[in-house]
Amino acid sequence: MLRSLAVGLLSGVIAVPLLWIQRGEGFEHARLAALMALDMGQFVGVSVGLVVGFVLTATGRWSRTPGYVLGTITAAFGVLVATQALPTMSWVDGRPSGLGDPDGESFMAFLALASGGFTTLVGLSIVLWRWSGYDPRTAPVKGRRRR
């Protein structure tokens, strides 16, 4: 289920060009629009990803442990989103001109910060579970060679 959750969180990027709603000019407005589109995309992506992951896990077609690469990419993506959401929150709280609803925009930036933190935790938990070797199919057995 962690794999499907990570893929759902990462798939939110697909919605960024589709749901782009930029209200003003400049980098700050573009960053806010990207974070808002990412939030909406992750809402749909995580829902679909969890349903697909549940079905694949229940049927036994997806039993392998997620790998280091997925965990690392997910954690790095979460850090990137969180580091972009923090300055956006302080920028929106400064009441810039050109924003329709500063409270709503501030809430969306807060959701992006929470999403970035959660995505980082999911990525780190994938890496830690893989590293701990909880699944005997993924952990090398000491003293024996694998063929």
d(CA 33, CA 40): 11
CB 66 within 8 A of CB 123: no
Domain contains 141: no
The pLDDT of residue 79 is 93
Q: How many domains does the chain have?
A: 1
d(CA 38, CA 69): 22
For the segment 90-144, what is each residue's pLDDT rounded down to a tens digit? 888 886 655 667 778 888 889 999 999 998 998 898 888 877 766 555 445 455 5
Domain contains 72: yes
CB 105 within 8 A of CB 92: yes
For the segment 33-91, what is each residue's pLDDT rounded down to a tens digit? 888 888 888 888 888 888 887 888 788 776 666 778 888 888 898 899 999 999 988 88
In the three-class reduction of DSSP (H, G, I as helix; E, B as strand; rest coil), residue 61 is classed as coil
The pLDDT of residue 4 is 77
Q: Kindly state the average pLDDT of the residues 1-14.
A: 79
In the three-class reduction of DSSP (H, G, I as helix; E, B as strand; rest coil), residue 140 is classed as coil
Domain contains 93: yes
Question: Among 80, 79, 77, 81, which Cα is nearest to 10's?
Answer: 77
In which domain, by residue range, is 55 found? 2-132
Instruction: Give every CB contact of residue 58 below 8 A, 6+ residues apart in sequence.
Output: none
Domain contains 142: no
Domain contains 146: no
pTM of the predicted protein model: 0.77
For the segment 14-23, what is each residue's pLDDT rounded down to a tens digit? 888 787 777 7
Domain contains 119: yes
Domain contains 139: no
Domain contains 144: no
